Amino acid sequence: MPENPTPRSMFTTVLIANRGEIACRVIRTLHANGIRAAVVYTDPDERARHVRDADIAVRVGDYLDIDAVVDAAVRADAQAVHPGYGFLAENAKFARAVTEAGLTFIGPPAEAIDLMGDKIRAKETVAAFGVPVVPGSRGSGLSDEQLADEARKVGLPVLIKPSAGGGGKGMHLVRDEARLADEIAAARREAAGAFGDDTLLIERWIDRPRHIEVQVVADAHGHVVHFGERECSLQRRHQKIVEEAPSVLLTPTQREAMGTAAVEAARSCGYVGAGTVEFIVPGGNPDDFFFMEMNTRLQVEHPVTELAVGVDLVKLQLDVAAGLPLDWDQNEVSYDRHAVEVRVYAEDPARGFLPSSGRVLVLHEPELPRGDGDTEVRVDSGLVQGYEVGTGYDPMLAKIVACARDRETALHALRQALTRTTVLGVRTNIGFLYRLLADDDVVAGRLDTGLVEAVQDRISGTGLPPGAVALAALVGQAGLEPAADADGWVDPFSVPTGWRIGTPAPTVHEFRVDGGEPVEVRVYGRGRHTAVAVAGQPAEPAHVAFDGPDTARLTFGGLTETYRHARADDGSLWVSRGADTWRAVPFDPVEAGPGATGAGGDGTLVSPMPGTVTVLKAAVGDRVTAGQAVVVVEAMKMEHAVAAPFDGTVAELRVDAGARVALDEVLAVVHPVEGDSASAPDEEVAG
């Protein structure tokens, strides 16, 4: 049991040991309860939203520096520390450091964090309380060879998981035994980088599983309540992107059984505070569920429970930390509404969800609907316009949640909210989420953890609408308009009208949109007399009305549509319509670099994302085969291997391990081997 000597009424200041949207969300509850909010920040986050929203902000060198964060709480005169999620949230050493400094840790006992943070011990502990667990490896500290042996015993496919962490980081699904060694080695590197502990375990992979978790809250007086389940089956790279409550899969009887198991899991480790027990559930047999892990913190997706049940989980955390008993009984918990949440990430779905970065040029978040309250939209965001999204932290930018009396209405409201969400300057998954929520299987509730992968190629992008390119050209055309002199006179020969004796001459704009083939746009005339021809098509009348610095109404092709737009420092133009966004880069064939495929057909290997080179898998002069990894790039705790496009020899390596690289930066060059003479047998030596 944690030491919580401070009653709730004496929490005048709480330090939030986190950043981004979760820090902003905790600040909201603190302020609603008359408590001052203190935060920590690093240099890249100096202008971040959580710093702006807080009452006190203390600079630290690293969010993972325990001594610095505890010292910041003391300097801010805080009585308690809220860890949020990620960073130090599930670090038992941090929890102990907070209490040893005489502060209250708003979380579970350090012993519970230790126990549940070790997935191997956690499975053994909850199993002793009758909670079903997934078959897998036993014991910790297994070598790579021992892990491979355990995988063979369990039977492929298997899931390799870090014992010390969660969030999908370091998790690798292996179906082919020939891939075991490489995947175990990669999982170790990622686990060490993300959690400082490379201990791994093996679990049986359940095909077409559903990921369902149960929210629990326990007080220091032995009272444990579960607040029902959340469906978290829509994932990419083992990380959730859509969550909802309740699950459409479970019957009331199954919900009760899973909730009871979650309560027993909490009791097994002497839990106090808010936590989540995660289960893997075969979609064809929900009665046969298995414990996966317990997250000893607030979950990213906690808002769906808050809206569907009608509870403030952060406030309950504060109450429990202050030593107060829970004022909820289990029979009082019920779902009156249905809530669905999406996570907005800085990533590019068209490139396999690789992380992206950049400065937020334009930001519009959906306004909360006004009315009778049957439908509600909530935005938990850490974004502000002008903020620089880097690759050093998790790529999640915001969460958008819709809640209504039924699931169909909630899904519709959430899709509408996504069409009113604009983030320009950074690639996001907003358009992908919009189309995912409209997928027939999602609408019908036929969910599993492989669904996103199955549909991602189909919904990752839309065809380039001619209007988006036409707008890019018209915005560029507006930039060519000459300024009037002090008397208001404009040189008529400088005006880009295209007027010539005889046939009008258009102004030609050429763009490469999202790395595609160059598109030519011809603009004729000016003002109400403008016509635009896109990609060799006949010119059509066009008119653009600028309704503000970033909003334009375009009439083109018989349609009038509203777009958002912004020009970046590199001259590219970001254009959005509804939930979709495009980046148009002025095309110069002389300066055009390699494509955005990750491995050029000419053997040029480029970085698929901004990040850091972690491993060089080959040296200059080495022979490589098609598909063999040459360079490994890491961003936001995720590794990506850049592979050779064909059999050949590494002719150039332009980076070293530890180097920071930009999107599409050249990493290496592979040359094909002519004649393949290196594979010929050695000549016999005459004796």
Nearest to 118 by CA among 197, 64, 232, 203: 197
Q: Looking at the domain assignment, is residue 576 inside a domain?
A: yes
CB-based contacts of 67: which residues, under 8 Å, 6+ apart? Answer: 97
Quote the pLDDT of residue 485. Answer: 54
* Spatial distance between the Cα atoms of 549 and 168, rounded to a whole number of angstroms: 40
More confident residue, 268 or 196: 268
- Does position 105 have pLDDT exceeding 90, yes or no? yes
User: How many domains does the structure of the chain reveal?
Assistant: 6
Are residue 379 and residue 452 in the same domain, yes or no? yes
Nearest to 463 by CA among 569, 286, 582: 582
The whole-model pTM stands at 0.82
Q: Looking at the domain assignment, is residue 392 inside a domain?
A: yes
* Spatial distance between the Cα atoms of 632 and 388, rounded to a whole number of angstroms: 25
No. of helices (H) and no. of strands (E), the chain: 16, 38
Are residue 380 and residue 412 in the same domain, yes or no? yes
- Written as six digits, the tokens of 435 are 């189309």
Average pLDDT of the residues in 13-17: 98
More confident residue, 497 or 95: 95
Q: Per residue in 202-244, pLDDT tens? A: 998 887 889 999 999 999 999 999 999 999 999 998 899 999 9
Quote the pLDDT of residue 285. Answer: 87
Q: Give Dmax (Cα) for the chain.
A: 99
Q: Looking at the domain assignment, is residue 489 inside a domain?
A: no
Quote the pLDDT of residue 477. Answer: 87
* Spatial distance between the Cα atoms of 665 and 660, rounded to a whole number of angstroms: 10
- Does position 519 have pLDDT exceeding 60, yes or no? yes
Are residue 283 and residue 348 in the same domain, yes or no? no
Are residue 57 and residue 125 in the same domain, yes or no? no
Q: Looking at the domain assignment, is residue 684 inside a domain?
A: no
Mean pLDDT of the chain: 89
In percent, how much of the chain has pLDDT > 70? 89
Average pLDDT of the residues in 416-424: 97
- Does position 10 have pLDDT exceeding 70, yes or no? no
Quote the pLDDT of residue 687. Answer: 33
**Chain center to CA of 488:** 51
- CATH number of the domain to which 636 belongs: 2.40.50.100
Helix-strand-coil split of the chain, %, nearest 5: 30, 30, 40
**Contact present, 507 and 496 (Cβ < 8 Å):** yes
Quote the pLDDT of residue 637. Answer: 66
Which residue type occupies 458? R
Are residue 218 and residue 361 in the same domain, yes or no? no
- Does position 486 have pLDDT exceeding 80, yes or no? no
Are residue 292 and residue 373 in the same domain, yes or no? no
The residue segments making up the domain with residue 25 are 8-106
- CATH number of the domain to which 421 belongs: 3.30.470.20
Comparing 333-347, 422-436, 624-638, which segment has the lowest mean pLDDT?
Answer: 624-638
Q: Looking at the domain assignment, is residue 591 inside a domain?
A: no
Quote the pLDDT of residue 685. Answer: 35
Are residue 614 and residue 656 in the same domain, yes or no? yes
- Does position 678 have pLDDT exceeding 70, yes or no? no
- CATH number of the domain to which 139 belongs: 3.30.1490.20
Of 539, 554, 586, the residue that ends a domain is 586
* Spatial distance between the Cα atoms of 607 and 117, rounded to a whole number of angstroms: 34
Q: Looking at the domain assignment, is residue 502 inside a domain?
A: yes
Nearest to 163 by CA among 258, 292, 300, 269: 292
pLDDT band at 193 (very low <50, low <70, confident <90, very high): confident
Quote the pLDDT of residue 332. Answer: 94
Q: Looking at the domain assignment, is residue 685 inside a domain?
A: no
Of 179, 204, 229, the residue that ends a domain is 204
Q: Looking at the domain assignment, is residue 439 inside a domain?
A: yes
Quote the pLDDT of residue 648. Answer: 93
Pairing, β 660-661 against β 559-567: unpaired
More confident residue, 523 or 486: 523
Q: Say which DSSP state 149 is in.
A: H
In percent, how much of the chain has pLDDT > 90? 73
Are residue 531 and residue 610 in the same domain, yes or no? no
Nearest to 474 by CA among 426, 424, 527, 512: 527
Quote the pLDDT of residue 465. Answer: 92
Torsion sign (Cα): 555, 558, 564, 566: negative
Are residue 260 and residue 186 in the same domain, yes or no? no
Average pLDDT of the residues in 157-164: 91
Of 304, 336, 368, the residue that ends a domain is 336
Are residue 349 and residue 431 in the same domain, yes or no? yes
Are residue 475 and residue 352 in the same domain, yes or no? no
Are residue 452 and residue 376 in the same domain, yes or no? yes
Q: Per residue in 369-393, pLDDT tens? A: 655 568 999 999 999 999 999 888 8
Q: Per residue in 558-588, pLDDT tens? A: 999 999 999 999 899 999 999 999 999 998 7
